[in-house]
A and B are shown apart, each in its own frame.
Chain A
């Protein structure tokens, strides 16, 4: 028996070895390396040089970095609530099971399977002032992506457009787990549709809501491809989200230490946001569904 246990443990370690190379070498080690780099000055050409807290001091005083955090926050606050509300509405609509609607959800998930970079390029053309579809349809010349007031909303719209169908799939799965009996009881009590939504559907969807919110916020804080394709952070840094700033600082301006410090700050912000969300969702009542 003892020998078999030892044999099993050895087999387990062998099975874990490759993934441990991945997790240890390419996830945990990079976190240590990024932390180390954030204390250095490095331009890719000369060797990295230890500068202590200089990069962090720079970030504290940098308007451009503050702007990036602000743009990312606005982007998230505009995109997430809208796409969650629309995704939920979409899931409820599909879940009504009207004839001919179940295949429609295929269309809603199309953006999820498509490269965000390619979709960004397509939307850049659609929003093109002279040759784009949108201006041709509305018959007016609007500078969607070069007007400082319009660029961020335009990028946010594309983000919502590309995530809403994917989000609705999770809500659909959540809706289908709610026992029908609960709705029947509500109906007998004479609850109206809105009341049913607020008092039954939303509370029972809490686990789904938590999962969708956390993953969407994390994804939204890292949005890069869409912005790269549509605006490259412009005009006048109005769409300069944090990932774009990190990329530019590291690979355009060749200030890798500074970019590493930005990445560390982003990491801390995301951890904080996730913890706050976790507390919020824990605190609210959940109905026992078992």
Chain B
């Protein structure tokens, strides 16, 4: 699913090139470029502005035009974020651990479930799968209060377990997506493995997983993005500072030091930059596969 059919839409026009057709094509191309470049500037602007501001001294920020470049460039906002006063090391560490546990848990549990639904026969399979798919309809906002009451009754407020427990056992979305992909694994490959005496477990790890690495990689990235950016659940279950994730810490900083924008922009940069970097590295993989995940 790379970009083969892209340019072909315009190709028939090339076949019958009259002067007026050429002029209208030129106009269409100019408009397309103008639209795409203006849009790209609008998209990129806020990211650049916040980065630039995070590199300014508060003095420069207060006295000069917001759009001006930092002069001098300073890391002062970042160093004070990591100083004892704001202690941003904690939210970064907490977020990293939460993401690690949730991604590992979700990927593993989802792979196991998707494999069972896609390739194994057992009584009640279709009904159970239908139940799983139905849970896709449950909005996160609806479960937040009951989950809070469940976690507090287990005494897990402001704990690591409280942050991860409800979400580490796989997600119906991931299971659904993986099952669709696992089902299309050629049956003869699996039959050959069965004849060779490969059991359920070995077929999963030696055939299904290696043959489905693209979708697994996509899902991995989606899960990392979702969990790193998560806000509402951590805000509710772990408001104590020592368990703040990066989004919660940023929100708290913004409330507490309103107007201290260079510091706040340093915090948003820290919250945004790791994933943007990850995304730029893997952008081909993500942009080409993401669009396909939904529509099948």
Binding site for B on A (CB under 8 A): 5, 8-9, 11-13, 15-16, 18-23, 25-34, 37, 42, 44, 89-90, 93-98, 101-102, 104-119, 121-126, 128, 131-133, 136-137, 161, 165-166, 169-176, 180, 183-184, 187-188, 193, 207-208, 211-212, 215, 218, 221-222, 224-225, 228-229, 242-243, 246-247, 250-251, 256, 259-260, 263-264, 266-267, 270-271, 274
Complex-state Cα separation, A229 to B46, whole angstroms: 15
How many B residues, CB 8 Å from partner?
A: 111
Determine if B135 is an interface residue (Cβ-Cβ < 8 Å). yes
Known: A19-B112, A128-B261. A263 touches B145 (CB 8 A): yes
The reply to whether B250 and A117 form a contact with Cβ atoms under 8 Å apart is yes
The reply to whether A107 and B44 form a contact with Cβ atoms under 8 Å apart is yes
8 Å CB interface, B1-40 against A = 1, 3, 5-13, 28-29, 32-33, 35-37, 39-40
Write the chain B residue with the least CB distance to A137: B67
User: Residues of A contacting B205 with CB < 8 Å?
Assistant: none
Which of A34, A136, A170, A218 contacts B143 (CB under 8 A)? A34
Binding site for A on B (CB under 8 A): 1, 3, 5-13, 28-29, 32-33, 35-37, 39-40, 42-47, 49-50, 53, 61-62, 65-67, 108-110, 112-113, 115-117, 120-123, 125, 128, 131-132, 135, 137-150, 152, 165-172, 175, 199-201, 225, 228-229, 231-232, 235-236, 246-247, 250-251, 254, 259, 261, 264-265, 267-268, 271-272, 275-276, 278-280, 283, 286-287, 290-292, 294-295
CB distance from B283 to the nearest CB of A (A): 5
Write the chain A residue with the least CB distance to B125: A12
Complex-state Cα separation, A11 to B112, whole angstroms: 10
Which of A114, A260, A266 contacts B276 (CB under 8 A)? A114
The reply to whether B275 and A122 form a contact with Cβ atoms under 8 Å apart is no
Complex-state Cα separation, A125 to B35, whole angstroms: 26
Q: List 26 A-B contacts (CB under 8 A).
A: A12-B116, A22-B170, A26-B169, A27-B172, A30-B142, A30-B146, A37-B145, A42-B149, A96-B7, A98-B33, A109-B286, A109-B287, A109-B290, A118-B229, A118-B250, A119-B46, A131-B61, A172-B291, A176-B5, A176-B6, A180-B5, A180-B9, A188-B12, A222-B140, A246-B144, A247-B236
Known: A9-B122, A109-B287, A116-B229. A218 touches B139 (CB 8 A): yes
Most chain A CB within a 10 A radius of its CB, from B33, B131, B286, B295: B295
User: Residues of B contacting A215 with CB < 8 Å?
Assistant: 294
Known: A23-B135, A94-B36, A97-B9. A122 touches B268 (CB 8 A): yes
The reply to whether A118 and B271 form a contact with Cβ atoms under 8 Å apart is yes
User: Residues of B contacting A228 with CB < 8 Å?
Assistant: 231, 235, 251
The reply to whether B291 and A11 form a contact with Cβ atoms under 8 Å apart is no
The reply to whether A270 and B139 form a contact with Cβ atoms under 8 Å apart is yes
Complex-state Cα separation, A190 to B171, whole angstroms: 49
The reply to whether A187 and B12 form a contact with Cβ atoms under 8 Å apart is yes
User: Residues of B contacting A30 with CB < 8 Å?
Assistant: 138, 142-143, 146-147, 150
Complex-state Cα separation, A137 to B146, whole angstroms: 46
User: Residues of A contacting B5 with CB < 8 Å?
Assistant: 176, 180
The reply to whether A96 and B168 form a contact with Cβ atoms under 8 Å apart is no
CB distance from B66 to the nearest CB of A (A): 5
User: Residues of B contacting A259 with CB < 8 Å?
Assistant: 145
The reply to whether B43 and A161 form a contact with Cβ atoms under 8 Å apart is yes
Write the chain A residue with the least CB distance to B143: A30
Complex-state Cα separation, A108 to B1, whole angstroms: 19
Give me 16 other A-B pairs in contact (C-beta within 8 A), A19-B132, A42-B149, A118-B267 excluded.
Answer: A9-B121, A13-B122, A15-B116, A31-B142, A106-B280, A108-B39, A114-B271, A114-B275, A124-B254, A125-B264, A131-B61, A173-B291, A180-B5, A211-B294, A228-B235, A247-B232
Complex-state Cα separation, A166 to B37, whole angstroms: 17
Which of B109, B251, B275, B287 contacts A117 (CB under 8 A)? B251
Closest 3 CB pairs of A and B: A22-B169, A173-B291, A97-B7
User: Residues of A contacting B292 with CB < 8 Å?
Assistant: 173
Complex-state Cα separation, A247 to B110, whole angstroms: 30
Which of A11, A23, A98, A104 contacts B131 (CB under 8 A)? A23
Complex-state Cα separation, A117 to B247, whole angstroms: 6
Which of B117, B139, B229, B261 contacts A115 (CB under 8 A)? B229
The reply to whether B141 and A224 form a contact with Cβ atoms under 8 Å apart is yes
The reply to whether B135 and A27 form a contact with Cβ atoms under 8 Å apart is yes
Complex-state Cα separation, A18 to B116, whole angstroms: 12
Complex-state Cα separation, A27 to B150, whole angstroms: 12
Most chain A CB within a 10 A radius of its CB, from B3, B6, B9, B123: B9
CB distance from A270 to the nearest CB of B (A): 6
Which of B7, B66, B123, B272 contacts A114 (CB under 8 A)? B272
Which of B13, B49, B167, B225 contacts A133 (CB under 8 A)? B49
